[in-house]
Amino acid sequence: MFYELRTYTLKPTKLADWLALYQSDALAVQTEHLGRLVGFFTTEIGDVNQVVHIWAWESLDERMARRTAMAADSRWMEFSRKNKELDAVMKLESRMMRPTAFSPLK
């Protein structure tokens, strides 16, 4: 199993707008295509104005196939258009992680 940790740094005044757009236009599409959402968070201390979400994958090939299918979905294309128009995202970081032998998530 792999876990993808995605961190979006947003413009300070755009966090609420981005979350509303994501919930209305992207969450269902991502859940349908990507499948295993582990968690979705906002930061409170440290680097604020960030959204962090974690997705679980059986393999890197599975991730590639699922993300390719999602990218071809017209609903995702529409979210992407609105996301660009909102101009809220300053930075995106994506980390692929593998759990240790003693991790509760495997």
Q: How far apart are CA 47 and CA 54, in angstroms?
A: 17
Contact indicator for 5, 95 with CB cutoff of 8 Å: yes
Q: How far apart are CA 75 and CA 64, in angstroms?
A: 19
β-pairing verdict for 37-42 and 50-57? antiparallel
Q: Is 76 exposed, middle or buried (0-12, 13-18, 19+ CB in 10 A)?
A: buried
pLDDT band at 106 (very low <50, low <70, confident <90, very high): confident
| Rounded Cα distance, 50 and 37, in Å | 17
pLDDT above 90: percentage of residues in the chain: 94
**CATH 3.30.70.100 for domain 2-94:** yes
Percent of the residues in the chain that have a pLDDT greater than 70, as a whole number: 100
Q: What is the pLDDT of residues 41-70, one digit of tens each?
A: 999 999 999 999 999 999 999 999 999 999
- 8 A C-beta contact, residue 69 and residue 63: no
10 has a pLDDT exceeding 90: yes
